Structures are given as structure tokens and as C-alpha cells.
Amino acid sequence: MSPARRCSRTACSRSAVATLTYVYADQTAVLGPLSTYAEPHAYDLCEAHSERLSAPRGWDVLRLAREPVDTGPSNDDLLALADAVREAGRPAPPRQAAAVSETGRETARKGHLRVLRPE
């Protein structure tokens, strides 16, 4: 959602927090969370105008719960990120030699491949 979307009411320059649409067949005004995209048939409203919304006589207003505002990363998120960075920066423990090399049959190694001496 773009933070640049403004309230659709005339002379209001506040940021939009809700979207108003009309269902003419049911005579219902639906006020819900700010839509993902600005639609030409919907109205974006600020907090003040969405609270004071009234519908035409005989119409119903359906208010859908708004999504909670994302306040950014929490302390737990930052600690988890720091732990992941520390873990990635630790040197890898020395790898154990394969059991095959203990028997003396291994003659060469290239990456994960081993050359074994025939018996």
C-alpha cells in the first residue's frame, strides 16, 4: 500500500486509512481496510472521515475490521537477525575424515568425490 494515497474528500490532505465502496443492489456502503490499489469506483478515506461516515437513508453501513498497523521490526525480530548473522560468521567446525580414509583405501580426493584403491 502506497503511503502517498490521500483522503478522497475535498480539501482533505490526510493519509487514507480505509476504502469505501458501495453495493447498489443491496443498498450497502462497505468501509474496509485500505485497498491494495486505488480503484476508480472506490473512495479512500482518512481516519476522521471514516469514523464520521454516514450512508443515505435506508442504506446499511458495513464496517470491516481494519488490519493492524505494521510498526516495523520488533526487538525479537532484531535479536533473531543478530543471532543469525553471528551464526553465519562462526568458522565451520573441522570435518571428520571419512571412515574410508581410515582404512587406507582412499588415494585422492577432489571436492566431494574420492578415488579408492581397488583391492
Q: Return the number of other C-beta atoms located less than 10 Å from residue 90's C-beta.
A: 7
Q: Dihedral, CA atoms, 44, 48, 52, 56, nearest 10 degrees?
A: -20
From first to last of its 119 residues, the chain has per-residue pLDDT tens of 445 799 999 999 999 999 999 999 999 999 999 988 888 899 999 999 999 998 889 999 999 986 666 667 777 778 888 888 888 888 777 665 555 445 556 667 777 777 777 76
- pLDDT for 2: 46
Quote the pTM value.
0.53
> Rounded to an integer, what is the distance from CA 98 to the centroid of its chain?
44
As a whole number of angstroms, the distance between CA 5 and CA 13 comes to 9
Strand duo 60-63 + 28-33: pairing? parallel
